[in-house]
Amino acid sequence: MTVHPDDPAPNPHATAAQVEAARKDTKLAQVLYHDWEAETYDDKWSISYDERCIAYARGRFDLAVGPAPLPYERALELGCGTGFFLLNLMQGGVAKSGSVTDLSPGMVKVALRNAEHLGLDVDGRVADAETIPYDDDTFDLVCGHAVLHHIPDVELALKECLRVLKPGGRFVFAGEPTTIGNIYARRLGQATWKVTTEITKLPFLSGWRRPQTELDESSRAAALEAVVDLHTFDPSDLEKMAKSAGAVDVKATTEELAAALWGWPVRTFEAAVPDEKLTMPYRLAQYRAWLGLSWLDENVLRKVVPREFFYNAMITGVKPGAAQK
């Protein structure tokens, strides 16, 4: 596990004054918001580094790319968060070694810690996706999950991805909100938060309420979402952007409709109640429900519903040049 010695330290507890300043500075907001979430992010989103999430990450890669000769020698995850996508892809046989970057020092710290615990060959940098601190023609694969919608200039970031890729190298980004999907996801989440936090004020449900200080901190962080979530994407527009950046063999795919309509209220509810209330039987039941609804999305709804109505968008493309993977 290696990290650049000049990288800044995490700041997990932003003050009210810092939050106010971040409303006018999207990149500061990115750092504050994601530093605040770093240590609890895996729990919040039920992220793991076992077979469940290995299968999920590999499934997203396969859906986006299709059959490909694996593994890639060296991969880069842009906007790595806690390392969810790359670390699980590495465990799933997609890449041998990797590098993680994020604008948030807290996220890079956690991603490298996770990589060390898993025994994976990974280094990390605190870095802006619009100016990736690696040389031209360095990586065989660049990947990311739920990152493009945080980047001010997405096309510039894609150009940077192509710069650091070797000729014939591929980028794969998954977990990006579609324009239509984002509308229903946010409305469902806001309604669930309001109902849950109001109902748990009742005396006989007080044990289901998080301490007010935690709810207040969550609300402050959530207030930055309007600053850090910069884009939603129409799949066709995302393809045009990738081609404009210089990629070839570009393809956008979408997934999750029924699963998203179920999942967003569930995730919001879980963020509003104490962790100890979320028992293992509950978590297993929610996971099985998600699997069933994902099957419905993939095998039924995908055939009859236009792709722009699904919540998650994925985009892949290749750097022109040598033989492609």
CA nearest 297: which of 312, 282, 319, 315?
312
pLDDT at 324: 53
Q: Which helix (H) or strand (E) holds 104?
A: none
Instruction: Summarize pLDDT for 287-323 with one digit per residue, the tens.
Output: 999 999 999 999 999 999 999 999 999 999 999 987 5
Residue 34: is its pLDDT beyond 90? no
pLDDT at 19: 72
Q: Write the DSSP string, 111-171.
A: HHHHHHHHT--EEEEE--TTS-SS-TT-EEEEEEES-GGG-S-HHHHHHHHHHHEEEEEEE
- What b/e string do you get for 48-71 counting C-beta neighbours within 10 Å, with b at 16 or more? ebeeebbebbbebbebbbeebebb
Shared-domain flag, residues 56 and 168 = yes
pLDDT at 277: 94
Identify the CATH number of the domain in which residue 123 sits. Answer: 3.40.50.150
Shared-domain flag, residues 266 and 217 = yes
Burial class of residue 138 (count of CB atoms within 10 Å of its CB; 0-12, 13-18, 19+): middle
Shared-domain flag, residues 168 and 32 = yes
The mean per-residue pLDDT over the stretch 37-48 comes to: 87
Shared-domain flag, residues 170 and 270 = no
Shared-domain flag, residues 203 and 319 = no
Shared-domain flag, residues 214 and 92 = no
pLDDT at 1: 47
Shared-domain flag, residues 248 and 298 = no
Q: Tell me how far apart the alpha carbons of residues 214 and 209 are, in angstroms, rounded to a whole number.
A: 10
Structural domain of 302? 179-230+257-309
Shared-domain flag, residues 164 and 225 = no
What region, left, alpha or beta, does residue 174 occupy, with left being phi > 0 and alpha being psi -120 to 50 degrees? beta
Instruction: Summarize pLDDT for 112-141 with one digit per residue, the tens.
Output: 999 999 999 999 999 999 999 999 999 999
Shared-domain flag, residues 240 and 133 = yes
Shared-domain flag, residues 158 and 147 = yes
Shared-domain flag, residues 113 and 249 = yes
Shared-domain flag, residues 261 and 139 = no
Total domains, the chain: 2
CB 231 within 8 A of CB 148: yes
